[in-house]
Amino acid sequence: MNVQQLMMRDVVSCKSDTDLAAVGLMMWENDCGSVPIVDDEGHPIGMITDRDISIAGATRRCPLSEIQASAVKDGQVVCIHPEQDINEALGLMSSAHVRRLPVVDGDDRLVGILSMSDIVANLPDSGASVRRGDLSREQVIETLKSIMERH
């Protein structure tokens, strides 16, 4: 199973200079908890989460409309390609402690996003046989445990 079989293709993104009020509205309108930040060519340069927005709102004494996404984005963004195996995605999520991976094409432009929610929704039913290369409950649980560890 590869990433393109599970990834979300219809993804909203923002620019570094987008304000947090606008990013929050994007999340609300698109029912998502994170938004990739892209440069002018569509290359992911960061991720911003609803938690990032909440912390910025609680710790900075100014309106969210005055804080740019670049001020709170994660340092390094970890991406994956659509043709990569889902187990590679789980490994990246585990090592980077992230629940979402931007999916990029051969030119490193954003084409989708893969989340733990997408993966969990596609787990085999309990008791079902699991073929080699497919998702297993154990792999997903181990990845979730690793992501949730304090780091």
pLDDT at 101 over 80: yes
What is the CA angle 22-74-114, rounded to 5? 80
| pLDDT given for residue 115 in this prediction | 92
| pLDDT given for residue 131 in this prediction | 47
- Distance between CA 109 and CA 116 in Å, rounded? 21
pLDDT at 130 over 60: no
126-148 average pLDDT score: 69
pLDDT digits (tens, 9 = 90+) for 77-100: 999 999 999 999 999 999 988 999
**In the chain, which residue ranges form alpha helices assigned H by DSSP?**
20-30, 50-59, 86-96, 116-121, 137-148
Strand partners, 44: 38
| pLDDT given for residue 141 in this prediction | 82
Counting runs of H as helices and runs of E as strands, what totals does the chain give? 5, 4
pLDDT digits (tens, 9 = 90+) for 8-64: 999 999 999 999 999 999 999 999 999 999 999 999 999 999 999 999 999 998 999
The DSSP 8-state label assigned to residue 122 in this structure reads: T
Place of tokens 């984005």: 73
- Distance between CA 24 and CA 27 in Å, rounded? 5
| pLDDT given for residue 145 in this prediction | 81
Domains, the chain, with CATH or none: 3-148 (3.10.580.10)
> Which of these ranges, 6-20, 93-107, 128-142, has the smallest mean pLDDT?
128-142
